[in-house]
């Protein structure tokens, strides 16, 4: 891959920068030079971002690449043209960003073009497809490209002196050897699981065997002395545990059932006696209720007599109420007749007065006729009075308006001439105002950036303090862990067995004697059975548990603090390089204040000039409007004069208001006369109708009055007959009965409630008596005592039965599990031994002490060292050669690098080289690594390489040798660029890409010396 052109937009310090690599010849060595922080590395960030969407270093994120001077509406954009295997390509990539006013980010974009000889043709426009297209084209992942295309500052020196594990990570990325590690790890995991599974099976067999229940049987207790490793013997005796257990359970079940029958019989008798006692209490309660109800019977008889009297008197009461209502109605009819008679007399007087007024109105008819003639002749002028009045007023107002408009026209013309003179040739300058605003914006952004740098500097100090404190805490915790580990007691496997079988150990120690046969296996005991005290071992075990808990707590605290330390170190690394200049910050703030004042002054001047020009334009429009308005006013005055002349001729009035008043007065008289005539006629007709209606109503009232008198007479006769039947002396006795009527419902309820309660109590008493006759009387206290004693015995028997049944079920499960585990364990041991041995070899348990992946990596490292030594021997005058160390370790050895010194004829540690010698070795290693990776990745075409710094550590002679090496490299057709600010390189290298910075934005300049 060879770069042709790079276009950076809103990228780091570059707002719109184009770098043309095509001007550099294929076999030229060129220098990229510039001040620290000017943006040299940003050039390679642009290339890597275009190809992979990331920066050239892992520490820098894409969001940090966007220029702080970028237009907020425009994205970060990189256009990169390059050549691969003689074919040209172009990539255009933009980063996601948030536009002003939006909450969500715009999506990133990627376009890939291929040059067909005439123009670039779009090949991929989707993000994922474009990314895959570039990976296929370059045949390098992002990490591999960064390692081979750009040799970054200090990274290959760290690779040269790093440990095996660090080299393994880098080489694994470059040569994709993770598959070997995955294969070894999977095999190790699988065999590890096999080993653990075998151990777990043996532990489960031991646990199940030791936990089998013996049911206090001497034979089974004797078998418990067998070890869990005697598989065949265990399989022989397991059936006995089930047979004996089933027999014990059957016996306990029979005893439990017999005891339960006795308990249930006693509980039934006890329940009957408790029921008898409750029934006796209830029987006595109903006897008491019956006696109380018998005592209430005289009062109930009185209420029944009172109810009977109320019922029989209902007819008389109704007659009395009808008579009373009829008397009231009779009085109302009599009052109506009197009221109608008086009203008829008044109505006749009113009719006579109205007829007299009608005669007086007839005498005024002739005068009213003359008034009607005037109103009819002048009705048009009266109806349009407002129009003529408005014309008169408008005529006067228009005359005044003409005078006023003439005066305004003179004033506006004078103001227009004065404003024209005041401008004196001045013009609005918005361009200069915008230029000052843009400069002020740039200064403000610089001040904000300095404020951010100030914050980062403060954070760096805080993080550094936190790192120191956290490291001290971790060191203290590690010391505590080491101290606790020394206090842990060592418990042997034999001691652990003793602890696990404490009871059996005591029995065996008491039973076994040296020289005598064992009662279980019948073997002669040859060794002493004495050992450590179980109590001492228990104490040590408890102390170990406490210490292990404390160690675990401390380790967890170490992990927590290490996590915090990692966070602090990462955070500190992000802000550690930030530099804040307080004097420069104060200077920039003063510049902002000065430029703000100049901008505001110019803005005020522009605003004043804009207002003056706007006023002149407005005055021109106003003057034309006034002239037009004066012409219209003159035309309207002529129309008003003609209309008013016609009005005076027809009405005979020059004053419109007087005419209106005279017309209104005459019209009112006519209307009043007509209204008076109409009203009087209506009153006469209404009065006549009212007289007719009231005469008819008086007649009807008299008829109702006479009818009601007849009704009252008949009611008196019927009421007297009913009083005689009821044997009541007079109306007063009847009123007494009427006062008792509201109590009728209450009396009925009392009588009904008493009768129902009485019969219910009698029935309940009879039912309870029948139940009591069926129950035998027994002593309740004796029954309770017998039941409690028997229940206790039953519960104990039931508990023994349940326990035995659970033990039997548990024994069946454990016996089944023991048989299953023994069968599976035998099968595993026969089939999986070869797989375990292979895993041991692949994970480094072999004579070379190398894992499979590291064995492959040592091959690649040997090839890299062969290529690197071709250049290192040349650069060091055949003195130094890189060699691979043969130190063996636990699977991760073989990647150490040492240096063989031909002057001393022996190998030396790589760290013993001087700074310049280390640079030479690093450069040679980097170049060798680049070539081997290209060969191994299927012939990757990397026609360009960039070396980032390191030349400042070299003396003049070594610098010349290093340059000669790079010149030899570029003579093979590869474009080689060096990133450095060393002055000697500018003089030595004819092609220089200078990165120029004005502290905020950067630009590039290509210098080629002949």
Element at 798 (helix H, strand E) = helix 780-831
Q: pLDDT > 90: what percent of the chain? A: 6
- Structure token pair of residue 720: 């007297």
Q: pLDDT > 70: what percent of the chain? A: 88
CB under 8 Å, gap of 24 or more: what pairs does 672-675 form? 673/361, 673/364, 673/368
Question: Does the pLDDT at position 857 exceed 50?
Answer: yes
Confidence of residue 104 (pLDDT cuts 50, 70, 90): confident
pLDDT at 520: 47
User: What is the arithmetic mean of pLDDT over 135-159?
Assistant: 72
Q: How far apart are CA 51 and CA 193, in angstroms?
A: 44
Q: Give the model confidence (pLDDT) of 736-782 as tens digits.
A: 777 777 777 888 888 888 888 888 888 888 888 888 778 777 777 88
pLDDT at 381: 77
CB 10 within 8 A of CB 70: yes
In DSSP notation, 704-733 reads: HHHHHHHHHHHHHHHHHHHHHHHT--SHHH
**3-class SS at 955?**
coil
Q: What is the CA radius of gyration of the chain?
A: 62
User: What is the arithmetic mean of pLDDT over 84-98?
Assistant: 91
Element at 18 (helix H, strand E) = strand 14-20
- Taking the model in full, what pTM does it have? 0.39
Q: Give the model confidence (pLDDT) of 542-560 as tens digits.
A: 888 888 888 888 888 888 8
Query: In Å, how far from its chain's centre is CA 516?
Result: 78
pLDDT at 999: 64
Q: Give the model confidence (pLDDT) of 792-811 as tens digits.
A: 888 888 888 888 889 888 88
Question: Does the pLDDT at position 531 exceed 60?
Answer: no
Q: How far apart are CA 786 and CA 30, in angstroms?
A: 114
User: What is the arithmetic mean of pLDDT over 535-539?
Assistant: 79
User: What is the arithmetic mean of pLDDT over 915-943?
Assistant: 74
User: What is the arithmetic mean of pLDDT over 857-875?
Assistant: 85
pLDDT at 641: 76
Residue 82's φ and ψ, nearest 5 degrees, are -150, 170
Same CATH fold assignment for domains 1-139+943-1010 and 309-363+661-742: no
Torsion of CA 131, 136, 138, 141, to 10 degrees: 70
Confidence of residue 192 (pLDDT cuts 50, 70, 90): confident
Query: In Å, how far from its chain's centre is CA 856?
Result: 49
Burial class (CB in 10 A: 0-12, 13-18, 19+), 29: buried
Q: Give the model confidence (pLDDT) of 314-337 as tens digits.
A: 777 787 778 788 888 888 888 888
Q: How far apart are CA 603 and CA 417, in angstroms?
A: 26
Instruction: Indicate the domain borders of the chain.
Output: 1-139+943-1010, 242-287+763-827, 309-363+661-742, 496-531
Q: How far apart are CA 92 and CA 449, in angstroms?
A: 29
Q: How far apart are CA 265 and CA 222, in angstroms?
A: 44
Size of the chain in residues = 1010
Confidence of residue 709 (pLDDT cuts 50, 70, 90): confident
Confidence of residue 132 (pLDDT cuts 50, 70, 90): very high
| Cβ density class 732-771: b for 16+ within 10 Å, e for less | eebeebeeeeeeeeebeebeeebeeebeebeebbeebeee
DSSP 8-class letter at 947: E
Q: What is the 3-state secondary structure (H, E, C) of 155-188?
A: HHHHHHHCCHHHHHHHHHHHHCCHHHHHHHHHHH
Residue 109's φ and ψ, nearest 5 degrees, are -130, 160
Least confident span in 342-351, 416-425, 525-534, 578-587:
525-534
Question: Does the pLDDT at position 972 exceed 60?
Answer: no
Between 466 and 231, residue with greater pLDDT: 466
Q: How far apart are CA 145 and CA 942, in angstroms?
A: 9
Confidence of residue 528 (pLDDT cuts 50, 70, 90): low
Average pLDDT, the chain: 80
CB 740 within 8 A of CB 310: yes
pLDDT at 891: 47
β-bridge pairing 944-948 and 975-979: parallel
Question: Does the pLDDT at position 130 exceed 70?
Answer: yes
Least confident span in 174-183, 558-567, 665-674, 729-738:
174-183
CB 733 within 8 A of CB 289: no
pLDDT at 922: 81
Q: How far apart are CA 523 and CA 949, in angstroms?
A: 82
CB 80 within 8 A of CB 50: yes
**3-class SS at 847?**
coil
Residue 153's φ and ψ, nearest 5 degrees, are -60, 115
Q: Give the model confidence (pLDDT) of 457-514 as tens digits.
A: 888 888 888 899 998 999 998 899 888 888 887 777 566 656 665 655 565 566 666 6
Say which CATH topology domain 1-139+943-1010 has.
Rossmann fold (3.40.50)
Q: Give the model confidence (pLDDT) of 255-274 as tens digits.
A: 888 888 888 888 887 787 78
Centre a 10 Å sphere on the Cβ of residue 115 and count the other Cβ atoms it contains: 15
Say which CATH topology domain 309-363+661-742 has.
Helix Hairpins (1.10.287)
């Amino acid at each position: 891959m060879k770069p042709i052109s790079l276009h950076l937009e809103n990228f780091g310090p570059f707002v719109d920068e184009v770098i043309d690599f095509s001007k550099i010849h294929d076999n030229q060595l060129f220098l990229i030079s510039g001040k620290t922080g000017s943006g040299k590395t940003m050039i390679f960030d642009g290339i890597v971002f275009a190809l992979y969407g990331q920066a050239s270093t892992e520490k820098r994120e894409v969001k940090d690449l966007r220029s702080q001077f970028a237009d907020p509406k425009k994205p970060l954009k990189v256009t990169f043209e390059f050549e691969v295997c003689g074919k040209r390509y172009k990539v255009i990539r933009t980063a996601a960003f948030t536009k002003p006013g939006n909450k969500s980010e715009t999506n990133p974009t990627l376009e890939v073009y291929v040059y067909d000889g005439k123009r670039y043709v779009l090949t991929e426009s989707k993000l994922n497809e474009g990314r895959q297209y570039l990976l296929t084209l370059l045949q390098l992942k992002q990490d591999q490209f960064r390692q081979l295309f750009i040799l970054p500052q200090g990274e290959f020196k760290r690779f040269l002196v790093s440990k095996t594990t660090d080299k393994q990570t880098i080489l694994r990325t470059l040569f994709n050897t993770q598959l070997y590690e995955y294969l070894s790890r999977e095999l190790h995991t699988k065999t590890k699981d096999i080993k653990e599974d075998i151990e777990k099976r043996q532990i489960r067999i031991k646990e199940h065997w030791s936990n089998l229940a013996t049911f206090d049987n001497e034979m089974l207790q004797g078998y418990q002395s067998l070890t869990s490793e005697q598989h065949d013997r265990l399989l022989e005796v397991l059936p006995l545990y089930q047979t004996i257990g089933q027999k014990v359970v059957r016996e306990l079940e029979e005893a439990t059932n017999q005891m339960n029958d006795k308990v249930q019989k006693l509980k039934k008798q006890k329940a009957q006696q408790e029921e008898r006692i409750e029934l006796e209490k209830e029987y006595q309660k109903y006897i008491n209720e019956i006696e109380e109800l018998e005592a209430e019977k005289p009062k109930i008889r009185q209420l029944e007599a009172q109810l009977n009297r109320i019922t029989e008197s209902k007819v008389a009461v109704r007659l009395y109420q009808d008579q009373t209502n009829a008397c009231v109605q009779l009085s109302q009819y009599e009052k109506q007749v009197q009221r109608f008679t008086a009203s008829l007399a008044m109505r006749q007087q009113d009719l006579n007065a109205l007829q007299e007024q009608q005669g007086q109105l007839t005498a005024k008819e002739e005068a009213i006729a003359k008034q009607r003639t005037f109103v009819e002749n002048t009705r048009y002028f009266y109806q349009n009075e407002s129009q003529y009045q408005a014309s008169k007023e408008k005529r006067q107002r228009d005359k005044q308006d003409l005078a006023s408009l003439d005066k305004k026209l003179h004033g506006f013309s004078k103001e227009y001439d004065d404003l024209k003179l005041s401008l004196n040739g001045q013009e609005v300058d918005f361009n200069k105002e915008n230029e000052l605003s843009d400069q002020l914006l740039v200064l403000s952004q610089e001040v904000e950036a300095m404020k951010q740098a100030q914050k980062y500097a403060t954070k760096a100090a805080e993080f550094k303090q936190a790192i120191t404190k956290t490291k001290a805490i971790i060191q203290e915790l590690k010391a505590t862990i080491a101290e606790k580990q020394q206090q842990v007691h060592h418990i042997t496997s034999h001691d652990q067995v003793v602890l696990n079988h404490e009871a059996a150990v005591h029995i065996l120690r008491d039973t076994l004697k040296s020289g005598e046969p064992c009662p279980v296996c019948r073997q002669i005991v040859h060794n002493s059975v004495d050992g450590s005290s179980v109590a001492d071992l228990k104490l040590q075990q408890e102390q170990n548990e406490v210490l292990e808990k404390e160690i675990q707590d401390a380790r967890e605290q170490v992990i927590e603090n290490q996590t915090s330390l990692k966070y602090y170190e990462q955070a500190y690394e992000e802000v550690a390089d930030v530099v804040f200049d307080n004097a420069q910050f104060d200077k920039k703030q003063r510049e902002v204040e000065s430029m703000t004042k100049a901008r505001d002054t110019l803005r005020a001047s522009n605003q004043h000039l804009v207002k003056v020009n706007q006023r002149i334009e407005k005055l021109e429009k106003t003057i034309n409007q006034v002239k037009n308005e004066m012409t219209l006013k003159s035309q309207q005055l002529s129309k008003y004069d003609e209309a008013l002349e016609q009005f005076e001729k027809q009405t005979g009035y020059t004053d419109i208001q007087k005419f209106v008043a005279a017309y209104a007065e005459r019209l009112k008289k006519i209307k009043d006369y007509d209204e008076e005539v109409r009203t009087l006629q209506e009153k006469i007709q209404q009065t006549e109708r009212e007289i007719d209606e009231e005469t008819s109503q008086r007649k009807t009232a008299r008829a109702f009055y006479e009818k009601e008198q007849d009704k009252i007479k008949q009611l008196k006769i019927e009421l007297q007959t009913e009083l005689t039947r009821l044997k009541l002396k007079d109306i007063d006795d009847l009123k007494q009965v009427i006062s008792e009527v509201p109590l009728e419902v209450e009396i009925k309820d009392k009588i009904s409630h008493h009768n129902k309660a009485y019969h219910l109590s009698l029935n309940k008493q009879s039912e309870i008596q029948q139940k009591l006759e069926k129950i035998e009387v027994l002593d309740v206290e004796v029954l309770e005592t017998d039941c409690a004693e028997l229940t206790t015995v039953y519960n104990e028997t039931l508990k023994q039965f349940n326990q035995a049944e659970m033990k039997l079920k548990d024994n069946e499960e454990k016996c089944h599990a023991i048989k299953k585990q023994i069968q599976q364990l035998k099968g595993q041991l026969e089939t999986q031994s070869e797989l375990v041995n292979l895993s041991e070899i692949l994970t480094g348990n072999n004579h070379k002490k190398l894992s499979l992946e590291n064995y492959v990596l040592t091959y690649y490292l040997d090839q890299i060292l062969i290529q690197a030594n071709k250049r290192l021997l040349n650069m060091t005058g055949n003195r130094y050669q890189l060699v691979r160390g043969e130190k063996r370790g636990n699977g991760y050895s073989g990647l150490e690098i040492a240096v063989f010194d031909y002057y001393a004829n022996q190998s030396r540690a790589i760290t013993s080289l001087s700074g310049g010698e280390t640079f030479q070795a690093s450069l040679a290693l980097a170049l060798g690594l680049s070539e081997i990776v290209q060969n191994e990745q299927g012939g990757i075409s990397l026609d360009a390489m960039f070396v980032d710094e390191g030349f400042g550590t070299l003396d003049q002679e070594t610098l010349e040798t290093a340059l000669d090496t790079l010149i030899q490299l570029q003579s093979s057709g590869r474009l080689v660029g060096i990133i450095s600010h060393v002055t000697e390189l500018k003089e030595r290298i004819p092609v220089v890409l200078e990165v120029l910075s004005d502290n905020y934005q950067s630009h590039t300049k290509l210098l080629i010396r002949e």
